[in-house]
Each structure stands twice: as C-alpha cells, then as structure tokens.
Amino acid sequence: MSGQILCKSISCADSSGKMCFHSFNRRAVLPSDIHIKIRYSGVCHSDIHCGKGDWGKKIYPLCTGHEILGDVIAVGSDVKKFKVGDVGGVGCFVDSCRECEECKEGDQQYCSGTNSNGLSGFRGTYAHKETEKLVPGGITQGGYSTDIVVDENFAVKVPESLNRPEAAPLLCAGITCFSPFIQAGIRPGMKVAVAGLGGLGHMAVKIAKKLGAEVTVLTRSPSKVESAMAMGASNVVVTSNEAEVKAAAKSVNLLYNCISASHDMVFYLSFLKNRGTMIVVGLPPEPIANLKAGTLAGRGLSIKGSMLGGMKSTQEMIDFCARHGIVSDIELIPATPEAVDVAWERTMKSDVKYRFVLDTAATLGQEFDERAAKKAKLS
C-alpha cells in the first residue's frame, strides 16, 4: 500500500528467542496516526515470554519491545496532541475497542470489547492481530525497531527532560506501579512495601517514595540493600532474616508484589497491617498456595490484581516522573541481535540492574545497513 514505511528491526527468528535482523513495513500514516522514529526501547521480561512462545504460539519473525521512546517525525491530518518534533512514548498496547465500559472509563488495558479485527481486548504492541484492512494478515510488531506508526490516542507526550534512555522503561514498568498506586490512594505517611527489587520493583520504590510513602523493600538478596536505600527505601527487609521479618510483621498498608517466580504469597501477606492490600502484578506460574479465605476476612486484607494502566494514567505517570526526575536504572546496549541475545539471557537470570534499554536510533539502522551490505558483498 502506498505510503508504507520500511522499518528495520531486531526480531525473534523463531521460538528459540534468538534474534535476527529483519525488515518489515509499518502502515502508512492515517489521519489520527503519528510516526515515531524510535530512539530507545526497553527490554521487558514479557518480551522474552512472548518471544519464546511461553504464552502461546507466535508467528515469526516477531519483533518485541513495548517500552518505546522516540521522535515524532510525521503526524496525520487529524492529530491534535502531537506535532513534529515532539517526543512520543508507546507502551504495551496500541489500540482497543474504545467503546466498552472499561475503555470509556480510561482503562483500555482491561478492554472488554471486540476490535474491528474481531480480537477481544486491547491490541498489544506486538504479536497481536492487526486490523485486516490496514495490514492484511499482519500482526503487530514492537519496539526493537527503527519506526512505529501509532494512533495518537495510544501514545503519550514525553517531556523533553525525559528524552533519554532511562525513561523508556516508564512506559511499561513505570505505569504498572503508578496506576495501582494512584488507585490505592498512596499519600504522605502511608507505609508501602515493595516485594521483589527488579525492573518493576525498583520503579515502584521510586514512585511510591515520590508519592509520599514510607517505603520498605522486601528482598531475598542482601546485596540489594544498599541500592534499595539509594532509591528511596526507608527500610529493607532481607526475607531470609527471621528477626527482620518479625520486626516488619503487620507494618505496611500496601504491599506491591511484583515477584514473577513461584513464591509463598501468604508469607508476604504477613507484612500487611489489618485492612491492608497486596497488589499483585507478577505472573507466577503456580496457583497461590495455602491461602484461606479466613486469612483475608479475619484481618480485612485484600489481594488486588493489576495490569499496566490506561492511557490517561500513563500520561499522568510520565508527567509525574518528569516533575520528580524519576527514571529507571538501566544498562544501555547496542541494538544488535548479539547484544539483545545476551540481554535476554541475563534478564532471565535476573542479572540486570534494573532494565536493559536498546540504543536504537544510534545503532540499529547503521548496523543493519552495514551487515546487509556485507552480506550482499559475500553473496
């Protein structure tokens, strides 16, 4: 179709998750679309689960990445929020039905309607079916790429101060804690615990702190105590230390549980005061063990599941982070298949402090072209 945009990417070649260079077309800019030249793209653990087919069979090559930051280089005729030269951000989804109760109330992440392509729920930034008439047979492709075209309603305006690689992870990790924190009404003086100090957890510490909470970090790793304090924690409990655990029993109003591995959730409930809430955002593979309804009822405890955040909340999060200078702690890596392969390996081993970000604009296009040229020469 005319006006389509050739896009270079790093994509999973197959369900092994091994990366390759791959080019594909983005749709032509529609009246309500913006075209973002991607600068930075964060690496989320979900990319790995999805890329390796843990969450169902995928079509390859598949370009993952849903923490996307870049320059708006073109806007459709109906676009109101952006102009060329702005910085735009794209998170975990790029469309939703826009008509269901959840969408109308700004919770597009819980869209319960049916998209024009027959898909139920939101359209993920990658690996979801595209609108058939726009991209026949196509699926969405994510942010480990040079360009993205997205409806302006599914992009956020990023203040210039956040035009840096450390801001990319806000688009997923940031909103995943900001949204439930705002819903829970975190206010000065409230005691909040964060369980699991990884990509999500370290953002949760920073954001809860700036919302005024007194933050306790619960971690298995004594090695993380120092950095947790540096991020704003007032207290760190090493969960293997019985005395520390005992001292922190029933001490917090809210516990943000972002542990993705199997873990004893009832143990973490013990840190809540009566009437406290545990927010769960992780996706441990096993069912919750040994949780009795009476444990919740007797102390008035809640377990609240939460996923991402809506577009309005995402914009508020970005503005909040800009105002308070909150960004992620990252390792910036070149956008090459080799570097991403290593990043994924290390992410799976939790060997990253605390997020990998691809230096896309600086490296992807150039590297892609050089290798293509080399390949052409060889053949």
Closer Cβ to a copy of itself, 283 or 342, answer by number: 283
Q: How far is the CB of 147 from a copy of itself (least distance, A)?
A: 30
> Which residue type, as a one-letter code, is found at position 313?
S
Comparison of 112 and 270: residue with beta carbon closer to a copy of itself = 112
Toward a copy of itself, which CB reaches closer, 64 or 257? Answer: 257
**Shortest reach from residue 123's CB to a copy of itself, in Å:** 16
Residues that bind a copy of itself (CB under 8 A): 101-102, 107, 109-110, 112, 250, 257, 265, 273-275, 280-284, 286-307
| CB of residue 15 to a copy of itself, shortest distance in Å | 21
Cβ at position 164, least distance to a copy of itself in Å: 29
Long-range contacts, stretch 95-104, CB < 8 angstroms, 24+ apart:
95/122, 95/123, 95/131, 95/151, 95/154, 96/121, 96/122, 96/123, 96/154, 98/153
Work out whether strand 355-358 and strand 33-43 pair parallel, antiparallel, or are unpaired. antiparallel
For residues 266 and 291, the answer to whether their CB atoms sit within 8 Å is yes
Letter string b/e over residues 37-68, b meaning 16 or more CB atoms within 10 A of that residue's CB: bbbbbbbbbbbbbbbbbeeeebebbbbbbbbb
Nearest CB to a copy of itself, comparing residues 109 and 141: 109
Q: If phi over 0 gives left and psi between -120 and 50 gives alpha, with beta otherwise, what is residue 212?
A: left
For a copy of itself, the closer CB: 85 or 189: 189
Q: Report, in Å, the least distance between residue 6 CB and a copy of itself.
A: 35
Name which of 46 and 227 has its Cβ closer to a copy of itself.
Answer: 46
Instruction: Assess whether the previous peptide bond of 354 is cis (omega < 30° from 0).
Output: yes
